[in-house]
Structure 1
Amino acid sequence: MSGTAVNHNASYFYFILDLHLYLDITLSSGAKKSYRVIGETVTALLRYIQIHVISGRVISSEKMYKEMCVCLAVFYVSILPSIKQLDRYGQLILANSTAADTGEYSCWLLLCNGSSCKKDESKTGSTYIFFTDKGELFVPTSSYFEIVYLNPDKPAVIPCRVTIPSAKVTLHREFPAEEIKTDGTNIIYDVKKGFIYQHPTSDHKGVVYCRAESRGAPQISIKYQLLYVEVPSGPPSTTIVASSNKAEGGDNVNVLCIVLGEPDVEVEFNWKYPGEEYERPVIIQDSWRLINRGIGHTTRISKSVIAIEDFETIDAGNYICTAQNLRGQTTVATHVDLT
């Protein structure tokens, strides 16, 4: 769907898609809350809360309890959208919208059988909404500096999105100071995503920022540090090594499993070891860190160590490490003998 511009000074906006929605807003405690926010008094079903002390004061009257509920209701409404389920559609109402609310909004049909529900992938809808604000041309972020990883086999996005779709946006390198031209092929600008490097290379690394202008003084985005990733994406590149492949009784043996990978891809480790069936106590420690391999080149090194103290007969055999990420898994093994 195409984007929609909304003046953020309006008290509310309505996002309505003509889908049958099953929406049940449930708190973690299992209690439900509901609000009426348009032209009606804000109400909240918060009677399930059992609070005895607020700011050191004991709730001593029904009036104080009601005041507390109203405060909580106003707080919830100020930070959460209200969702209503009607006959033929679901309705989301966002109060006090700001430039930070600019983005994509989606809804979908839930197919429910009793208490079990699943998303119907064939009935989904989405729209992108711009909350215009001349004082905030860029969608606000929670930080003043972000890292963007450049992977040679997938596009990289510099997410300097704007709140006004007609704004003129350019990309600039901090050093040497220059504008980075978009050619519509290798570097493109998508008003809903930002600048996209279709085929990142190590030449693109460095610090960049965006500049936007719309009927007034130009504004500058936060800065983005572009780091080139040496390791291609895919299943973990895994190696395994033992502190000693021939141990004597009573020795302490460590087996290390190492993965070199993309900086933003997490790795999960699993071990199988000879003493496992005997419930042999071992110590397993996982860790990771980023390592720099030249200016602007970054790799993530993930490690898992299994430590066996007082090595004995049941500890001899194969130590098998399985490393898994979102793109697959790799299994490696090493053998430790008792001499």
Structure 2
Amino acid sequence: MAFSNVCFCFPSFFFPLLYLLPHSSPPSNLNLKLKPTIVIIHITNKALPVLHHVICRIREMCVCLAVFYVSILPSIKQLDRYGQLILANSTAADTGEYSCWLLLCNGSSCKKDESKTGSTYIFFTDKGELFVPTSSYFEIVYLNPDKPAVIPCRVTIPSAKVTLHREFPAEEIKTDGTNIIYDVKKGFIYQHPTSDHKGVVYCRAESRGAPQISIKYQLLYVEVPSGPPSTTIVASSNKAEGGDNVNVLCIVLGEPDVEVEFNWKYPGEEYERPVIIQDSWRLINRGIGHTTRISKSVIAIEDFETIDAGNYICTAQNLRGQTTVATHVDLT
């Protein structure tokens, strides 16, 4: 089976290292070898200092394309042995990780070659924007007790001095290199979040001039640990008379940012018994800084009859697994 090779280059903006000045003299060309067959090259055009090239070069014959998500649409050049992403009028918002990989294609079907990938992180420096711009002025960061939490104070100048501060009580939060660390490509990282870390924080950056303040981050501690949904089920009545209206409620308490899907099995299902199923969710505060997501699914049976008696089974599922619970409703 014959495969053709396609190289994809794109900025992924997750978080090698390049330092660019989009509005000043460009640095010398840099070749960065990332994998045995992948080389990422970044160059600037001296005649056009705001024009930047990111080249994905494959050391074998291939056709190269690019996929990208940036603030200003770049142009892509497809050449015989490499793909070239050209980003014009770059800004501080373009700071981030640029990646490329090889695709093996057979006709219209392509698959990624995991052994041939590469990435490089590029800083687009702007003295007026020490922090990488965001689309909001306030963000929520959830503190999970079983995984690190990232406060994404990313900067455009890697040499900038960046500190983390609590709004109230007003104080600097010191990094210790163990529990709280700073990564110039990600931000401040709480390795083992606790409820003591909740509150409003912001970052302060300074580099040869007046300091700048980041947006504010509300740190909310997640009371429910990660895992399959913690599910309960309850019926409005476990003994119903003919003609009654019966509701069965399935409830999940979970992490604020984890969605839950519900599925029901009920006695009248095989008879195509009409029922009403409604799903909803909301965030609830369980003390200052403690937030839980409560997800609900209600199955409503009107004019209860013989075919409705039996087990009502609710299955709640999230990305970490599923939980099934049941309750029995009798006809009296």
TM-score per shorter chain, which class? 0.7 to 0.9
Q: Is the 8 A contact 2:66 2:85 kept in 1?
A: no
TM-score, normalised with respect to structure 2: 0.82
Unaligned runs of 5+ in 2: 1-14, 24-48
| Alpha-carbon shift at residue 81 of structure 1 (Å) | 2.4
Q: Which amino acid aligns with 2:50?
A: S
> Counting helix residues as a fraction of each chain, which structure ranks higher?
1
Aligned pair in 2 of structure 1 residues 24, 156: CA closer, same or farther (>3 Å)? closer
Q: Which residue of 2 aligns with 1:51?
A: none
Q: Is the 8 A contact 2:165 2:171 kept in 1?
A: yes
**Identity over aligned residues, as a percent?**
92
> Does the alignment pair 1:18 with 2:11?
no
Select the residue among 248, 256, 266 that pairs with 1:263.
256
Select the residue among 208, 220, 244 that pairs with 1:215.
208
Q: Is the 8 A contact 1:78 1:96 kept in 2?
A: no
Q: Is the 8 A contact 2:143 2:219 kept in 1?
A: yes
Aligned residue for 1:164, secondary structure, equals coil
Q: Which amino acid aligns with 2:115?
A: S
Measured against aligned partners, the alpha-carbon deviations of 1:38-62 in whole angstroms (never above 9, x if no partner) come to xxxxxxxxxxxxxxxxxxxxxxxxx
Q: Could you tell me how far apart the structure 2 residues matched to 1:319 and 1:107 are?
A: 50
Q: Which residue of 2 aligns with 1:8?
A: 22
Measured against aligned partners, the alpha-carbon deviations of 1:245-273 in whole angstroms (never above 9, x if no partner) come to 11222211111111101111111111112
> Does the alignment pair 1:333 with 2:326?
yes
Select the residue among 230, 236, 256 that pairs with 2:229.
236
Q: Is the 8 A contact 2:66 2:83 kept in 1?
A: no
Q: Is the 8 A contact 1:274 1:314 kept in 2?
A: yes
TM-score, normalised with respect to structure 1: 0.81
Measured against aligned partners, the alpha-carbon deviations of 1:139-163 in whole angstroms (never above 9, x if no partner) come to 0011111111111111010000000
| Number of positions where the alignment pairs a residue of Structure 1 with one of Structure 2 | 288
Supply the RMSD in Å over aligned alpha carbons. 1.8
Q: Could you tell me how far apart the structure 2 residues matched to 1:197 and 1:120 are?
A: 34
| Alpha-carbon shift at residue 111 of structure 1 (Å) | 2.5
Q: Could you tell me how far apart the structure 2 residues matched to 1:241 and 1:183 are?
A: 48
Aligned pair in 2 of structure 1 residues 117, 249: CA closer, same or farther (>3 Å)? farther
Q: Which residue of 1 aligns with 2:300?
A: 307
Q: Could you tell me how far apart the structure 1 residues matched to 2:64 and 2:320 are?
A: 33
Question: Which one is further off, 82-91 or 295-304?
Answer: 82-91
> Counting strand residues as a fraction of each chain, which structure ranks higher?
2
Aligned pair in 2 of structure 1 residues 88, 220: CA closer, same or farther (>3 Å)? same
Q: Which residue of 1 aligns with 2:29?
A: none
Select the residue among 285, 290, 296 that pairs with 2:289.
296
